[in-house]
Structure 1
Amino acid sequence: MPSTPHVEFSLRAGTGEIRLNRPEMLNALTLEMIEAIDGQVTEWATDPKVTGILIAKAGTGEAFCAGVDQRALYEALQAGDREYGARVYRRFYQLLYRIATCKKPTLAVMDGITMGGGVALGAHCKIRVGTRNTYLANADCKIGYFPDGGAAFFYNKCPGEIGMFLALTGVALRARGLFHAGLLTHMVPEKQVHMISPLLINEIAVPPPVSTLADIESHVNQVFGLGGVPEIKGVLAARSGEWAKGTAEQLRPQSPTSLALTYRHLRTAQGKSLEEVLKADYRLSQHLIDGHDFREGIRAFVIDRDEKPAWQPAEQRDVTQAALDALFAPLDQGMEWSPAA
């Protein structure tokens, strides 16, 4: 197994282990890391000595994975390297599809901060493990993007409208809420994280605590089952109570375009295969890279950190159907994503 900066590969008792080791950047994934992991998963998928694959953080850093490195993407785009934006998402979705369709047991230990593409990296594994340190959020609408990497596929499997709620608000959940949402399969005490393997997980897992997410589920289903983002925002504004007020505040800073396309994407993804969802994700990613809000969101929250994005348009009512249609439009011939691309 080759040595790769920021990713450690090893084989332990039949389990191929992938450990992310870029703690200073919350294990955010560079293109080099993605390609290295994809190559290793490809090799282990057909290696008879490997009985399962585990993805986890190395050491005791605070994050499992913060997703694709947005700073690296922004710097490449600012330098005129548009190809980086095409290749990083193409290869990332290829990796996610390979993990999701791997015939061997795949296990993600989402111990710590898990955000954006890090959610997808874990969610497509068959065994999804959390600890009391797990802190998961898909806050992509806040940076002018959308929950990608097949999020529309696995969020549509959540009970009721919980997936839509998580995708639009970017609200963070701890392990107990993630169990209720169906995004985790096991919980393990932090001191036993080093013992986890596909074969041992059932022996060291503990019962998850009861989630308070069930207490607000009726509100979530009523509001986030409405016919669009303007309706959702309107009902939240009209309602009294702490939940409605807090949820409206969660939606307030998000890109209006991102909210509208995320709502449409989750609705149209219902019943579709992961491959179909990833193909749509790739179209959206490439159109957003060439637009305004995604670059502005990265600037505001990652580069300058003034947290004052100037969204275009700035109001939900100004997001047109034509603008959304353009974001979902097919790419030029030869540019579409497919598992073999």
Structure 2
Amino acid sequence: MICQMTQKLILYENDPSVKLVILKANGKAFCTGGDLISVIASSIAGHWSFTIPFYKKLLTLNYLIATYKQPVVSLINGAVMGAGAGLSMNTTFRIVTEKAVFAMPEASIGLFPDVGASYFLSRLPGHFGEYLGLTGRRLNGAEMVECGLATHFVPSKKLDLLKNALQSITTSDKSTIAAVINKFTEVAFLKEESPLTRLDTINKCFSKGTVEEIVLSLEKEIEVNGAVEWITDALSYVRTSCPSSLKIWLRSVREGRVQSIEQCLCRDYNIGSHFILRTVSNDFYEGTRAKLFDKDKKPMWDPSKLELVSEEIVNQYLRMVENENWERLQLPHRSNIPSKL
């Protein structure tokens, strides 16, 4: 699928008759982890000829979409997580419906939010990107628009009409495309319990320097204000997720805030390769075993606690892999480099 998408996008980009590209799922979801099953099964069997090239091709596709010459319109009418977020969140227009659900829950399976997440999540208001990656919080369509992950909210019943209108456009002018989308756009209202209505508290807690300090800050909020659901949910996720993954994400999103999409994807490749090759820890395999295969939901993380994950362990994940069969990610030169999300 990745190879086919890449081939088509390269073909369309060099076709003067193509004015925009519509990206949508063939079903209810862009991606919800199906690729992980193949990666883990192949890796356990020793088929590195599949896993590492797969990851490299995926990140290269993310880069192609993020730097695409023509506008790309994502139609999100269901779940968009993991690899699907990398495909859709780097597009020009990101249209969601009332059925949209976004999340980056990789830390719960011993991985980390990758596919450019340190680029597009770090550019959300305040420290909301840290919050999403450290808590795996699910957002609905209204929340995605409010925080900037999505550009427009269109009811699902209008999607076919919108798609037909987009297909009739004869220009790549972004303002013209936006004007067409705006005709179908409606206002989406946040629910009172949405974490986005507590952004001041999120910024206060998730701006701390370490994951341990973030946890302490959240615990103090509970002491002062009582057990608020979004905080108890956040703490529950952090306490059961992979400690190394959480610390890697905090470092990654902080660095990504001042880096290009290319730099973020190259870092993702280094970190992801360490997880796949098990050069530092077996956490990725243990997490997927506990959550996706055996489903006992009792992963044995190594290290097992946040305080045991040293700065040096995090640094090991960020370094290039030392393996004669490993190739570094070399993204092609692209002229259309995005300045921000």
TM norm structure 1: 0.86
What is the SS of the residue equivalent to 1:167?
A: helix
> Is residue 81 of structure 2 the alignment partner of residue 115 of structure 1?
yes
The 3-state SS of whatever aligns with 1:196 is helix
Looking at structure 2, the residues matched to 43 and 234 of structure 1 have their Cα atoms a distance apart, in angstroms, of 51
The CA distance in 1 between the partners of 2:99 and 2:299, in whole Å, is 30
CA contact (8 A) 2:30 2:85 kept: no
Q: State yes or no: 1:271 paired with 2:270.
A: no
| 1:1-341 paired onto structure 2 within 5 Å | 33-58=1-26, 61-66=27-32, 69-197=35-163, 198=166, 199=177, 200-210=180-190, 212-240=194-222, 241=226, 242=228, 243-291=230-278, 292-332=282-322, 335-340=327-332
Shift of 1:40: 0.6
Amino acid at match of 1:139: P
SS of 1:311 mapped into structure 2: coil
Runs (5+) with no aligned partner, structure 1: 1-32
Higher relative contact order (CA 8 A, sep 6+): 2
Distance 2:305 2:4 in 1: 41
Distance in 1 (CA, whole Å) between partners of 2:160 and 2:111 is 34
Amino acid at match of 2:189: P
Question: Which digits, 9 at most, give the CA deviation of each residue in 1:134-177, with x for residues without a partner?
Answer: 01110000011111011000111100010110011110000111
Kept after mapping to 1: 8 A contact 2:94/2:149: yes
SS at structure 2 position matched to 1:49: coil
TM-superposed CA distance for 1:195, in Å, is: 2.8
Cα separation, 1, equivalents of 2:123 and 2:65: 18
- Structure 2 counterpart SS, 1:109: strand
For the residue of structure 1 that corresponds to 2:304, the secondary structure is coil
Counterpart residue identity of residue 318, structure 1: L
Preserved contact between residue 107 and residue 242 of structure 2 (Cα < 8 Å): yes
Instruction: Tell me if the contact between 2:108 and 2:237 (Cα under 8 Å) persists in the aligned partners.
Output: no
Distance 2:181 2:39 in 1: 36
Alpha-carbon separation, structure 1, partners of 2:145 and 2:219: 29
1:107 CA displacement:
0.8
Distance 1:162 1:227 in 2: 15
Does the aligned pair in 1 maintain the 2:147–2:196 contact within 8 Å? no
TM-score normalised by the chain length of structure 2? 0.86
SS at 2:183 equivalent:
helix
| Secondary structure at the counterpart of residue 275 of structure 2 | helix
SS at match of 1:238: helix
Shift of 1:68: 6.0
SS in 2 for 1:239: helix
Q: Which amino acid aligns with 1:338?
A: Q
Distance in 1, matches of 2:149 and 2:306, equals 30
The count of residues paired between Structure 1 and Structure 2 equals 307
Cα distance in 1 for partners of 2:261, 2:110 equals: 23
Distance in 2, Cα, partners of 1:210 & 1:247: 19
Equivalent position SS for 2:240? coil
Secondary structure, in 3 states, of the residue corresponding to 1:252?
helix
| Alignment gaps of 5+ in structure 2 | 167-176, 334-341
* Paired AA for residue 71 in structure 2: P
Secondary structure at the aligned position of 2:80 is classed as: strand
Question: Matched residue of 2:22: which SS?
Answer: strand
Q: Which residue of 1 aligns with 2:337?
A: none
Offset, 1:313: 1.0
Could you tell me the percent identity over the aligned residues?
A: 29
CA RMSD across the alignment: 1.7
Equivalent position SS for 1:204: coil
Cα distance in structure 1, aligned partners of 2:274 and 2:70? 34
